[in-house]
Structure 1
Amino acid sequence: MNVTVFGATGAIGQLVVADLLKAGHAVTAYVRNPAKVPAWGDQVRVVVGEITDGAAIDTAVAGSRAVVSALGPSMDRKAQGLPLVEGTRLILEAMQRHGVRRYVGNGTPSVLDVRDRRTLQARLVGWMGRTFLPRAYDELVQMSALVTGSGLDWTIVRFIAPKDGPAKGVRRIGFFGTDRLGFAVTRADIAAFTAAQVDDSTYVNAAPAVSN
Structure 2
Amino acid sequence: MNQIHKIAVLGGGGRTGLRLVNQLLDQGFQLKLLLRKPEDFKIQNPLIEIVKGDALDADVVEHLLEGCDAVISTVGQRKGEPLVASQATTNIINAVARRKNDSENFRYILLAGLNVDTPFDKKGIETQKATDWMKATFPDIHADRQKSYALLLASEVSWTMVRVPFIEFVETKGEIKINLADSPGSKISAADIAYFLIAQLTDETYVRKAPFISN
Equivalent position of 1:116 in the other structure? 121
CA contact (8 A) 1:170 1:193 kept: no
CA contact (8 A) 1:107 1:156 kept: yes
Specify whether residues 171 and 86 from structure 1 end up closer, same or farther in structure 2 by C-alpha distance, changes over 3 A only. closer
Q: Report the TM-score, using the length of structure 2 for normalisation.
A: 0.88
TM-superposed deviation, 1:126: 1.1
Equivalent position of 2:83 in the other structure? 82
Over aligned residue pairs, what C-alpha RMSD do you find? 1.8
Paired with 1:139 and 1:159, the residues of 2 have a C-alpha distance of 17
Unpaired segments ≥5 residues, structure 1: none
Question: Would you say 1:158 and 2:163 are equivalent positions?
Answer: yes
Paired with 2:152 and 2:181, the residues of 1 have a C-alpha distance of 20
Taking only the aligned residue pairs, the percentage that are identical comes to 26
Equivalent position of 1:91 in the other structure? 92
Unpaired segments ≥5 residues, structure 2: none
Equivalent position of 2:193 in the other structure? 190
TM-superposed deviation, 1:39: 2.1
Equivalent position of 1:3 in the other structure? 7
The amino acid of 2:110's aligned partner reads: G
Give the match's secondary structure for 1:143: helix
Paired with 1:142 and 1:91, the residues of 2 have a C-alpha distance of 14
Specify whether residues 174 and 199 from structure 1 end up closer, same or farther in structure 2 by C-alpha distance, changes over 3 A only. same
User: Counterparts in 2 of 1:32-181, with a 5 A limit?
Assistant: 32-74=36-78, 76=79, 79=80, 81-98=82-99, 99-100=102-103, 101-177=106-182, 181=184
2:204 to 201, 205, 209: 201
TM-superposed deviation, 1:80: 5.1
Paired with 2:40 and 2:8, the residues of 1 have a C-alpha distance of 17
Paired with 2:194 and 2:87, the residues of 1 have a C-alpha distance of 24
Paired with 2:82 and 2:64, the residues of 1 have a C-alpha distance of 24
Can you list the C-alpha shifts for 1:125-182, whole angstroms capped at 9, x where unaligned?
21010111222212221222222321111111111110111222243111235xx711
Give the match's secondary structure for 1:198: coil
The amino acid of 1:173's aligned partner reads: I
Give the match's secondary structure for 2:173: coil
The amino acid of 2:109's aligned partner reads: V
TM-superposed deviation, 1:97: 1.0
TM-superposed deviation, 1:27: 1.0
Q: Which has the higher helix share?
A: 1
